[in-house]
Every structure is written in structure tokens, then in C-alpha cells.
Structure 1
């Protein structure tokens, strides 16, 4: 299409669709790929408000003769979720539950509803959707229908086709109708009505009759046949079910507007048994014997996967639950109560213990134990995508399925095939109870020889799985990865039937062309490919885990979409607030990839599209731990901002909040005067406007006496029996909440430590890093290393009370000053208070809290991502705290983010998602803990209780008191004239202080 035609199409869509229509480069880049090896830039994207909007969008596309791709969560692995037409993304708005019938156990839903969100709405009825893919946090019902999704629960509930009762569909040429099982009477009525519906049904009946023999004989009768169209559903014994025939058609036939699906009861109780065997192939041999006990799930994993998960700290607690072995089966049983579920499991175990091949056994009935082990299984893709020290891996042959009773032999032959093609490092895991095997293979998709070898391998693999009576795809679909290979599995006659089937619904080949039938070559449209040559810019961060190349870091995302979930974890707070693809970690990574690729986004670091996508990134670092492949968008954002604003005037928040340590230092000259200014409404408004601070935020109140001044006057009083520690006086503790520092000193000295503080004022450079002022950040950090050199050289632990500062030392510092040995020493010596107590305080714990204090803890995002919260949880519980650690996501403040003008609504939406409802819902006796200054500030701003730092709670335990609330300074009520004098004084002192600061940090 020409540019003029694109404009006309976009204009017509905007005129007729009451949704969002986007044809900009940023959106096109964001939707250029999903979780596959493939990349195609769409013409544009439509986000319809209603299904009727979607219908109108298809009508406009038909008038302009452009193709359509109906998209769900964008997690597909075979290339079916990218194309060059118009993408309709249902997931932002069309996610309504139309109706639920608890008696019939059915629901009618719109296509964009996410599986976990739907199950949350069904929970009050005791019902759920049967299939549960590992992407359940982000996959949509429409996408599951398009892909015929399965998951581990398919062992009990079948594929998505088994859950679909009826579909409301729209054909490209405009037929909108409900389809489902079609009896003879209904069939006759459809023919009598005439028109496009009669033509379609008449053609379907004729196609079924014409290819009846092939339909009965060429489709593998196995649990996980997902490849190809579901023509067996048109058989008379299957009820001539047009809805089920359309499931798994990957948007190549119709657009699904609504679905009526069958539901199942939520199991009352579950028991998980893990069986250990000498090898995964030996484990696979046991599948028929175990399947006879009718488990609800039967999964397998090999030692290679476990090694990778262990090396990357993925689900480490779960790995400790595994029994001895080098191949494992996870067998889940359900029951009406725990006794019934346990009984089923014990019956199987008793049988398996007879004979020489008895497995090692782990019996898990506690829900938390089970959840951890399932998390390890679901982390498989993340663990295998970037094996430490090895090449990146790819989809392409990751979900073939064979008859379950032949799985062991197939795995042995498949391993031999991997070795023959020199791909022997691939891990094997999957839904073994249904013969489905997952793996990611180190294909070289960047060189001609590598791509050719990839083609040779998948052709051989297709012949192998067909020889076993299996399916090329057992879960992920055909798309472009396997469409070209379908003749090997089905033969030419069935392929003709597929082509005719498509032509009945889509005679012009305008629905997701190039997938399943008439497919594009499996080695075409590759995201990398033989022409892959990304720009390699010089960077500030070293990216040691990405071959020291920013392009490798930006290309790390594999697109599984966990960042689009909202059930647990931290990432991605801005996506949870906006439901915008470009505000997910995945969407931002895609745009950085496109920026380096240079085809659609051509202005490099100056790109406004990339800047806009990153603007709402809270730099929470949640993706660094929660993303399956550890994308670190906070670091990428800092890198981008550094180059984007190089040689340019920055936004005011970069000067105000980005230079906060300087302004805080100046404020200590006269903190009461500064507080007076910020407490005077008129002056506060001027200051906030000048600094780019949202008018609805209160400026934090400075403490009347800095922590370091208090400590210097008081001196160290600890015995030093357990050694000396350096207490880091971060900007927030030192200047705003000095009581936190005093509490930490009390705890450390009670534990037997001698406490020191630096002899000069250092800084971790957090605010410069978060605003992308990386040259300044590096100068600040080098000065800090100079100040700390004596402690770094003698191994003194550095206790850091502000989690974000500790995270800088542990993560950002060694990557910004890569190769500086003192930087790496500080990364190794920085500890949170709880970590130090766990590691060096022996059995000592402050246990003097009266009674049992209840507390809610909100872990700071950086704490969650870098240090993790295990030590804090343990120390607080040992101190007698009845602790609930919130899994509420980011508080929404995230350093300077929540203060910046233009971010307030997103910031508060993050807080009100889960955090503030939990805080407000707690009783008055429950304490609120938040070690992060930003978290405490947000909770107080949103009207919650005054939160405590854990150091304050532990100090109260040392004293044997119950803390009633955090000590916070209150702004004085001061006449305007006093505030004006303070403003004049501060303005006069600022240039002097700035010059001094710059001299010190050169």
C-alpha cells in the first residue's frame, strides 16, 4: 500500500471506530512481533472499545482490501501473532464477562479477557476455565481459542476446543453469526434462510463429505493434536460442530467476537507428588502406568532444566523440594477434600514402589509448597532462553506431541536427532502425560548456514514425530514455524482440504495471511535473519550478561508477556494502570529493538516514540527479577535518557529531583526555613511548578537535625564484639527520616556491632541514575568509592537502610563502573540491615516486643528485585512479628516518578491497585512496614497509616516496646513572610552550593 492509502485507511478507521486507531511508528514497532522468531510491521493497530467497534474495523479493512489479524495477549510462539495488515487488539477494552450461568457451568465472554482475570470473576461461583497455559497471567480467552490452548490442566480438562460451546464469529466479508454444534434441523433452517450463512454451511458439509476418508484416517488420535484445522469436529459423530472446528485456526478464518465456554469446578483440594528417576527418558517410560491413576496433571522435566533454573536463581526454593534423580515427573491429584486427594496419590506411590524401577518420591500437600514447584515448571522458558555461558535459544520446534505411551522412545530418538544436528544442549520438559514435549534449541538464525541448518533440522524433526503418529504442534500452533511442514504430517490431500476450508470462510485470503495454509516460508520474516545488523552504540552501562552489547540487552525479551499480568509480583506497574502494550516491559523492549534495527524508528537515541514509551516506566526494576529472562528496563531507560538528552536542556524534574542530594544538603543550612517555604501554599505552588512537581504532591519535610550530625555528636557506643559495620547515611534517611538511622544504630549496637559512618558525605547517585544523568552519576560514584576505600579494602560490611541505594551498589554500580575492583567490592559488601543480622549476628535477635505484633510489609521494588525479601521476612518473624508480606506490586512512587508532573494518575493507580486497599483494610493494631522512603511517602500521601522502617520496629523490640507509629517531622505553620525569606536565602545559596558540588565531583 502507498503512504496515501495508509492515511486514508487510518482516517476511515478513526471516523467509524469508537476505539483507538494508531498508525504511528512506535505502535507499529511495538506490535511487530510476539513471542516468536518472526517480525512483520503492521499497517496499524485498532483497540476497539466494543465488539461492534471491532466489526466496524473489519468492514473498513474490507473496503480498503487490507488484511486483518485478530490478536489476544500476543504470547504466541509460532509467528501467528504478527502480520503486515491491521492488528485488532482486544485486550485493552473488550474484556467483559457478558454472563455466567452457574447451573449450566457456562460463561459468555468477550475475546480480550485475560484468563486469570476471568477466573477471579468466576471464583465466587466455585468455577474456573479448564485449560490453563503457563501464560495464564496474560493470555486472553480469544487468543486461547485462536491457538487451541492447553497447559498442564489439559490432562484433566482437555484443550480449549473441549471448553468451547459456541462462538460468535465475524467473517472478513461481513457475516456475523453464532456457530456451534449443528443438528439436522438447525442445518436445514440455515439452508432455508439462504444468503452467506447457507453458502458457508453447505460448503462445509460438502467439504466434510468429500474428504471424509482422510479426515477419519490422517488426523492423529492423540490428546495433543493441535496442528492443522479441526476438520474432525465436522464429522456427524462430533455433532458437525463449527465452533470447535474453528478453534485453533489462529485468526486465519474468522474474527471471534464472543465465546460461550464450559466451566469446571475449582478443585477443593490438591496433592502434588514429584517422582525422581535416573533420566527423563526413563521417567517418560512410566507415563502409561502413572496415567492409569487419572491424575489431574502429569508433567515432566529433565536435569538440564533444573541446572539452568538453579544457576539463574529461578524458583530456588522449589528445586529443594525435588527428590533425588536426573529426570522428574510432577503428578497432581485433586479431590473433594485433602484426604481424598492424598489417598489417590498414595495409591499410585504404593504401586510404583514395587519393582526395581521405583522412583524417589516427594509428597507435597501444602499449597505453598505446590505453588513453588509449579512456578519452577512454569519458569522453563525463562530458564532455557539464555543458558549461562551458552548461546541464546529459540522456538521453532518447541511443542511437538506423540502418543504418551511412546514418549520415552521418542525422546531417545529426539535426543539423537539433536546431537546429529549439533543442538545437543537443549533441555526437555513438558506435558508428558499427554505426550507433549517443550524445548528451546540453540538455532543460529543470523547466518545463512545457521538458517539452512535450522530448516534441515525441523524437516527431519517433522518426519520423526510423524513416524511416531504424532503432531508437529501439541500446544503452540502452526503459524509460520510449522505451516510449511504440515504436508509431512497430513499429506497433500488433507492440505487441499485445509485450503478449501480456509477459502470457505476467507476466499480472499485476508485473514492473517501466510499462516497455517499458503504459509510464508518458515525461514522468512525472521526477526534476526541473515541481514540482521543492529546498531551498536557506545553505552555507559557494561551489560556484562549480554556480551557487553546494548543490542543483545534490547533483544533479550522473548515475548511471553508475564509483564502484562496483574496477579502477583512487581512488573509492570504502568501496564497494570494503562493496559497499553507499549507500557509493558515487552512493549518497551520491542521499541528499543526497533530503534537499534533502524527500519521503522530511524532517529536513534533521539526517538520520541521510544522516549514516550519509557516515560511511564517507573524504573522499579521489577522486570529484573520477575521477567522470565531478566530484562532490566530500569537500566535501559537510564541509558536511553542519558543519550536522548545529551547536549540538550533536560526536563525540570531532572534538575530538581535528579539533583536531590545537592538540594537536600543545601536545605540543611536552615531546614526550618525550607520547611516553612514548602508549608506556605503560594510559595509551595511556585516551587513545585518550577521543579516540575505535580501540584497534588506535598514536598517532603526535612528533619530538623540530620542523622550524621546526631551520630557525630553522640559517637559510637557499640561493644564491637561482632565486629565493625559502616552505616550508610543515604540522602533520605539522613535528611528526611533521621529517626530510621538512629533506630538502626540502636539495633546494631544491641547486636554487638560497632557502628561507623563515613567521614565525608557520600552518595549512591541513585537520583542521577534514575534520570539518566550517567556522567554525573559516575563522578559521584567514583567519589563515593574514594570515601569508602578504607572499609572496602578491609572488608567492612556496609549496611544500607534505603533499599534503592543498596540496589544501586549491588546492581547498577558494578555495571556502570565495570572492572573497577572497588566497585565490585562494594557490591559484595553492601547489605540490608536484615541481611547483616542473618549473616553476622549469630543467634541474636531482638525479641522484646510485647505480645505478638501484627504487621503488613510492603517490600520496596528494588529490594524485591535485587536483594529479595527472604532475610527481612526471617528476621522480623524471629523478632516476634506476625508478618504478612504484601504481594501488591509497586507503590507507584518509585523515586521521583510519582512526584513528576504528568505521572500522578498512573502513580496513584499503582497504589490503589492492591497496596492501599490492603493498608486501609488492616485493623488499627496492625503496623505497616515500608523500608523504602518512596513507599512510606506514597502510603502517607494516599491516606494510610504512618509506615515504619523495619529498623524502627526492631529497635522497639530491643527496648521491649510496641511501636505506635513512625517519628516524622511536621511542617511548621509559618507566616508567608518567613517563607519568603527562606526562599530568598535558598535561592542565594543555591549557586554557591552547586559550584561546590561540581568541584567535589569532578
Structure 2
């Protein structure tokens, strides 16, 4: 019997510590809240979360769990769409520490990894060796291989590459009693497991005919004990096939030996557009005869959502030409030679010539950047359907149904009719070539009536799948849908599965209540509408509170913020800590609970303090705002939270300094020598550090901003006295308080550059923007500053002038948080690229090569930024490479806060140090904070890109 009492849990955790558990143990409210959700509609808080460092920790956790009757549930990336890793016992999270890639054998084509290795991490390691791991999932930036094994994952390309279980050669396991064992596709040398295996094999042999009758012959066959494939050809038990898809209910995997695949050397992608979804899916069986590596599908709703998101700039050059359509197929061919790919395209052309179904348009590309952007859009389909800013969003509870491809269009048509009859809209995407199309009904889970639709829709879709020879789970595992297992396999095979569970885990210790329960036990399988739902908790949130924190409540748990890659901007505090409480998803979970408790009148203080602690490590870099598929804007909500938090508390002394620092800086900048003497002497630095927690305050520029403009033959303009004549081709530089006080060389260079290009350059003296006040939640003071500055701008009367900002963080602030009417403040790269047609083109200078380091805010808010800078440099004969980096670690205030200096340095080392050193004197950086950080920790301050352009124009 399981013992979930608090006293028993305390004894278990104490025993873990006493016996040398080397990982982390989290039992605080914040960690439990964050661990209560995945990418599903459910909310089940674990009692504690363990983060083992190695297999010995996993074995100890299981051994003691057996002794204390504690339930254990393994968790990887936490991206499950049906609550696969949610349970109310103790969670074993493998993703924090068990991330080692141990051995690679390219001759054998194998790699051995720990179970917490992320798929993108593995492929980044394999790429230089010419290999990749073939199972491809859309959550590859955070999905762990252990989690993929637990669900027998598959994705794009599975028609030729198969499922996860087709690529696992061996696994090291920890059994329910804590004992270690190893298995391979050939069997096991473990005597106890071999005894269990013989009994299971005999059971499977006895029921071979029923297995053949019940299991459909299709790529996305039944997962969860894989009874049809668990018997090897020789009659032995294939433990890998048995365990794959078992969702951690039979054993815990610690190491996996994987088969790796050579990377195809060339590929091409054809996009086909159709009048509607059904026409597109009707065409799939015919297109499959051309033997492409993948046929992926998305509908017009996905495309419309993508067009409204920052990613559209990446794909507009391709899809923008394809016109209106109701459904799209992405048909990819891969090969080791161009001739192979061309032959595939020829086969496709011959199929299209037969006019089985006529596309409305088609586009083919072999450009790597275009193909990458198109596939990235397809990967983000999941998040896009949750990004709609309405009360109803796309939900995944029936989204991975699969049927034989020849039945797909009929199945989807009836699926659509089912949802239409309920008045629901939906979006569709998926793997059409293997009959798996993800359909996400739009529901508002805060509405009881919509929550009540989960059961009847699930039942109806399950029945519809059986009608068309398929399954309600074709890709994402069963999770809470385990109650349908018996319906699909029948009572005899269900009894077999229960006996298998009993053989491995007789006490239901591992992920209890999922898939099946052990024969002889009275535990029942979880019911999909009896498990606590996140929406029911959200329904308790007051509407006024909901309005301020709606993006947190909209978080669907897709986990994009748990991105593995150091060079990806989102989320820096998570990358530094690997603590999911300190990621946007974790903060969103705390926001929604804080809002709920405040709404119900319960004690919100513990959660409030946990939220405050989590937000203290948020850099307010805005990367989540641009990169999160649901657009969870943590910095904006952080400001709103701090505004509320300090209504009843005394602000720290540092906040009072920051409230006035911008105004003080704009005054002191006119006396730079005195200001640097006052701010830079040891006594002042000590006071700022020990008294206010501020470090490394930048030095004031010796050249005054106004003088910098005039030295470049620019002109100054003041709001109270706009000129009667702005001159020919006028532009207005919006000088900010950062470059205007500390980096005026950039102002001089930008003004000179624009002047050389034939523009009449005007500049308004550095203007306060209130950024620090906003970040620290001084919203009244920020609003006052914003209104003053906006009023000054309006008095200029320069309605037709291009407004140009030189600092990315300020550009974003002015466009997003200021009310400038229809005006848009342009970054310099956008202004220049928009005007290339009137600017002189210069011949290529082969010796002039630069590397640009972009501010994380601009490249996530506007992904077209790097292409624009490259186009501008190319126009002037220069070569510009784009450094692949995450956040530099400064992010304005964060890097100057004493308690965050170590993390700031860690983030710089994580993705900036090496590429900056490699770039040498050719390094350029757009952000003031980035240039400051590079000077602080990298020893060299990069120039702004305008400096390189100006140098090119100089005689």
C-alpha cells in the first residue's frame, strides 16, 4: 500500500539525506506548484521533487521508496500533453543534472547518454560527427531522451525513421525495488528480469492471435507495453519494445544506448496549398507514393496565427507568395546527393501531373534558411494555437489521434463535424504521411461548461478512431487517457498488461494510476475528467486580477522557456540555474496561484514571497515576450507585481536611488569629469555597493551628446522650438539616456553616417524614458515620466519625419509602452534597409568581415533584424556574420545589482565569451548594455555597427 502521509514523506526525505542522496530535494510550495503542471489541462501537485545527479541517486530514491511505500514518478522535459508525468507522490526530475553524453562510437553508429539529455543537445553534439538522432519531436529544445523513451516518441519523418523504440539498443534501469538492471534488444543478463521475461513471453505467445487481431498495422501503433512488438523474431522478449511507451510504470531508465543516423547531405521542401484541409489530406496517400521523407500538414488557422507573430518575418518570403489557402502540405525529400533529392522531386512531379487532387499553388525551396524557418513554424504550431488572445485556446486532450493514412481525410472530416456540432473552432497540424493530424479544439477551461466537454469529446473521438481503424493516442502517450486501454485491447490483453505491471511493480509504486494497475491490486486507473484541472483553479481568479495577469493564466505549459541551447535568448535565468521555478513557465504558475489566492481571500503570503524570490532573478530581458508561443510577458507582469507588492512594504534603498538615477545621469552627463570623479572614487563605489547593492556603474562619456551631434554636422531640435524647415530628406534621432550619457561616440557615428548618406540629421537631446522605474514596478512614476516624454515628442510636430532610435531596449519600450499614435520608432537597421534603394551601392571588400552581436530584446521581438543588418552591410560591400548568442547577462539593471553579478558573469561566459574572442576586432554590438558587458567581462568593448559602416564610407 502507498503511504502518502506527511509524516511518512518526512521520514523518506530524511532517510534520503542521511543515506547520501547527492541531488537536490525540493519540497517548497513554489517547486510543487511548478511541478503540478505540464503541457496538459491538468494540475496535480507532487509532495516533493527529487533532482538526482546520477543512477546511484535514482536507485537510492527507489530503494527507500520501496521501504517507505512512496510513489515515484519520473519526469523529463515536462512537455506531456496528457499528464503523463503528473502524480501526487514524489517526482524524479532527470532534466537538471542527468544530462551527460557519455560515449560515442561512430563506427558502430551508437551513442550512450543519461536520460536527462535534451534532444537538441544530443543533436548539437552529434552534428560535427555527421550524425543525428532520428526521432524528431516538435519540443526538441527541451524534450529529454528519457521522456521520449517513456512515451515511445516519434514525429516528423517517422514514416521512414520509425519511433523511439526503433532506435534504442540498450537501457540501464532502476526497478521498482531499487535494484539496477540492464536490458538490450536481445534480452538481459539479469536473472530476476529474465525470470520475469519468460513469464511475460509465455503470456504473449498464448495471446499471439488476439494481439495480431487487436493491434492495428500502422506506423503509429499502440504504445504502452507494445505487446505486438515485444516478442522478438526468435520468440525471446524484446525488453526495449516492452518498456518503450510504458510511461515510467515498469521501470526507471537512467542510461540509454541509441542508434544514430547519418545526416542527409541535401534536402528540398515543397509547400503545396489547397482550397481546404480535406482536399489536402485527400492528396496525402497519392503523394506518399513519391516516397518523401515527410509529409507534414497545417491549416489556415495556424498560418494566420503565424502571420501575426514575430516568426512571420522568417517565412514571409516563401509563404507570403502562396496566397489564400485552407490547408498546406510540406513535402520534404532528403538524400546524400542532389541527384537523390532531384529524383524524389521528379517522382512528386509525376504524382502531381495525375491531378488526383489539384493544389491551388506550390512552392519549392532548397535554401537552408527558408527550410529551417518553415519547419520551425511547423514546430511552433502547438504554441500558436494557445497564443490567441481570446477566452478559448487550442487544447491538446484529443490532439494526437492517428488512423491509417488512407482513412485520414474521412476521419478528419467527421472529427470536424463532431466539433462543429458543439459550436467549437479548432486548429489542425501534424504528420499527415503517417495518419497523425493534431486537432486542438478551442475551449475556455475556466468555464465549467467547456470543462464538461472534455469527457464527451474524448469518448466521441475515441469511438471515431476505432471506426476508422486507428487510435486516440498516436504520438503523445496515454497519460490520463489510460482508461481507454481496455477498450482498444480488449479484456484478455488488458489482463496481460496488468500481469506485466504486477511482474515489474506489484505495489503500483511507479507512476501509479497510469496505463494499467497491477493485477491483484485494487488501485484504479485515473479517469480523464476526475483528475484536477488547471482551469478549475483558474476559474477562481477574480476578473480584475485576471486582466493584469492574463498572459500568465494563458500559459499552456509547453515549456519553450526550458530551451536547452546556450545560444538561444530564452530564458537566461533558467539557463543559469536549471531551476524551472526561475523560468517563465514557473513564474507563470506562481503568478496564477498568487492571483487565485488573492481572489479567494486565502493566505497568499507564502506564494507571494516565492514569486518575489523567483522574479528577483528575472533579467527583464523581454526574450520570453518575443519567443514564448503564448507571449507570456514576465517582465510586464513583474512590474505589475512589484507595484502591488510594495504598496504595503518599504522599498529597498536601491529602488529610491534608481527612481531618480536617470534624471541625475542626464544632469551629470554635462559635467563628465566631475561626475566620473564623484561616481568612480573608491568611497562612492563602496557606498553604492554596500549601501545600495550597485556595482560597476558605467563612466560618463567625455563628449556631450549635443556636441557629438554637432561635430557630425547634425542639428539639434528642442520640443518647444521646432524648426520652420526640416531640410531635405530629414531624419530625427531619438537620443536616449543610455547612449546619451555613457556612449556618445555611437551618437556621433550614427549622425555622421546618416549625414554621409545624404540625410539631414536632427536630434533631440537625450530624453528620459523611465525604463528603470518600469522594471522596478514604480508604475506611477513610470507613467508620469512616459507621459512627460511623450508630450515633449508630440510638441515637435515632426509627424512626417522618420524617428530613429539607437538603443534596442529603448526602441522596444517606445513602441510597446508609449502611446505614440500611429508613429513607429525605427531601429537604425530598419531605416537603412528601407532606404537601400536610394543609397549608393559599394563594391565588395573581401577583407572587411564583421561579426554582429545582437541585443536579445531586438532579435526576439523582431527576428528580421539580423537579415536587415546583413542586407545593409552587403549593400556597402561588407560581409557581416551574425553571432549565435543568448543573453549577455547585463540586461540593464540586472548586471549592476551586486547580488546578481555572479550570474551575470556566468551568462556572459555561457554564450558570449567564446564567440566574442573569436570575432576579435571585427566584433560589433547593437546594445549599450551588451557593449558594456563585453567591456566588463570580455576585456574589449565592441563598436556599434554604424562605426563599421561609417568607416566604409570614409574616403
Normalized against structure 2, the TM-score is what? 0.92
CA pair 102-841 structure 1, distance change in 2 beyond 3 A: closer
1:231 pairs with 2:227:
yes
Is 1:951 aligned with 2:946? Answer: yes
Residue 519 of structure 2 corresponds to: none
Shift of 1:69: 0.8
Change (3 A) 1:236 1:566: closer
Q: Check 1:338–1:512 CA distance in 2 against 1; reply closer, same or farther (3 A cut).
A: same
RMSD: 2.7
Match of 2:87 in 1: 83
- For 1:430, the equivalent position in structure 2 comes to 430
1: CA distance, partners of 2:532 / 2:46: 15
Within 5 Å, give how 1:457-536 maps onto structure 2.
457-480=457-480, 482-517=481-516, 518-530=524-536, 532-536=538-542
Counterpart-to-counterpart distance in 1, 2:421 and 2:484: 20
Query: Which runs of structure 2 are paired with 1:804-819 in the superposition (5 Å)?
Result: 804-813=809-818
Displacement of 1:849: 9.3
Judged with a 3 Å threshold, the aligned counterparts in structure 2 of structure 1 residues 96 and 777 are, in CA distance, closer, same or farther, namely: same
Once the two structures are superposed, the pairs formed by residues 667-816 of structure 1 within 5 Å of their partners are 667-668=668-669, 670-681=671-682, 683-694=684-695, 697=696, 699-708=697-706, 711=709, 716=715, 720-758=726-764, 762-791=767-796, 794-813=799-818
Choose 846-855 or 115-124, whichever is displaced more: 846-855
For the pair 1:37 / 2:41, whether they are aligned, the reply is: yes
Q: Assess, with a 3 A threshold, how the Cα gap between structure 1 residues 608 and 661 changes in structure 2: closer, same or farther.
A: same
Counterpart position of 1:113: 117
By how many angstroms is 1:293 displaced? 2.9
User: Is 1:619 matched up with 2:620?
Assistant: yes
Helix, strand or coil for the counterpart of 2:796?
A: helix
Contact 2:61–2:178 under 8 Å retained in 1: no
CA–CA distance in structure 2, aligned partners of residues 635 and 39 of structure 1: 25
2:259 and 2:58 map into 1 onto residues whose CA distance is: 24
Output one character per residue of 1:822-878: Cα deviation in whole Å (capped at 9) or x when no partner.
Answer: x142x7332212323344675125859976632111111222233441443433332
Matches within 5 A, 1:532-551: 532-536=538-542, 549-551=547-549
CA deviation vs aligned residue, 1:335-393 (integer Å, no higher than 9, x gap)? 22223222222232233223363444322212112111111211211221233557212
Distance 1:507 1:936 in 2: 60
Q: Is the 8 A contact 1:768 1:774 kept in 2?
A: yes
1:844 pairs with 2:839:
yes
- 1:767-824 CA-to-partner distances (Å, cap 9, x unmatched) read 11122222211111111122122236835443211111111111233xxxxxxxxx14
Per the alignment, residue 857 of structure 2 pairs with 862
CA deviations 1:648-676 (Å, max 9, x no partner) are 33334434445431331342364213323
Structure 1 runs of 4+ with >6 Å offset: 712-715, 848-851
1:25 to 25, 29, 50: 29
2: CA distance between counterparts of 1:712 and 1:304?
52
Pick the aligned partner of 1:98 from 95, 102, 113. Answer: 102
Kindly indicate whether residue 207 of structure 2 is the aligned counterpart of residue 211 of structure 1: yes
Deviates more, 1:82-91 or 1:834-843: 834-843
Q: Is 1:349 aligned to residue 349 of structure 2?
A: yes
Contact 2:287/2:351 (8 A) holds in 1: no
What is the DSSP-based 3-state SS (H/G/I as helix, E as strand, rest coil) of the residue aligned with 1:373? helix
Provide the rounded CA distance (Å) in 2 between the counterparts of 1:361 and 1:463.
Answer: 36
Superposition deviation, residue 152 in structure 1? 0.2
Displacement of 1:755: 3.9
Q: Which residue of 1 aligns with 2:641?
A: 640
> Structure 1 residues 226, 726: CA separation in 2 closer, same or farther (over 3 Å shift)?
farther
* 1:976 alignment partner in structure 2: none
CA distance in 2, matches of 1:930, 1:421: 53
TM-score by length of 1: 0.87
Question: Is the counterpart of residue 222 in structure 1 residue 218 in structure 2?
Answer: yes
1:133 match: 137
Q: CA distance change for structure 1 residues 867 and 362 in 2, over 3 Å: closer, same or farther?
A: closer
Structure-2 separation of matches of 1:389 and 1:51: 45
Compared CA separation, residues 529 and 593, structure 1 to 2 (3 A): closer
Asked if the contact 1:655/1:691 (under 8 Å) is kept, the reply is: no
Partner Cα separation in structure 2 for residue 71 and residue 220 of structure 1: 29
Whether the aligned pair in 2 keeps the contact of 1:32 and 1:40 (CA below 8 Å) is yes
The alignment partner of 2:838 has SS state of coil
CA distance in structure 1 between the partners assigned to 2:638 and 2:862 by the alignment: 21
Deviations 1:73-129 (A, max 9, x none): 111111112111111111111111232222221222111011111122223432221
Find 1:942's aligned residue among 932, 937, 941.
937
Q: CA deviation at 1:434?
A: 0.6
> Which secondary structure state, in structure 1, belongs to the residue aligned with residue 649 of structure 2?
coil
TM-superposed CA distance for 1:25, in Å, is 0.7
Secondary structure in structure 2 of the residue aligned to 1:370: helix
Task: Give the CA deviation at 1:144.
Answer: 0.4
Gaps of 5+ in 1: 540-547, 814-822, 961-1002
Equivalent residue, structure 2, for 1:383? 384
What does residue range 103-182 of structure 1 map to in structure 2 within 5 Å?
103-182=107-186
- Identify the residue that residue 340 of structure 2 maps to in structure 1: 340
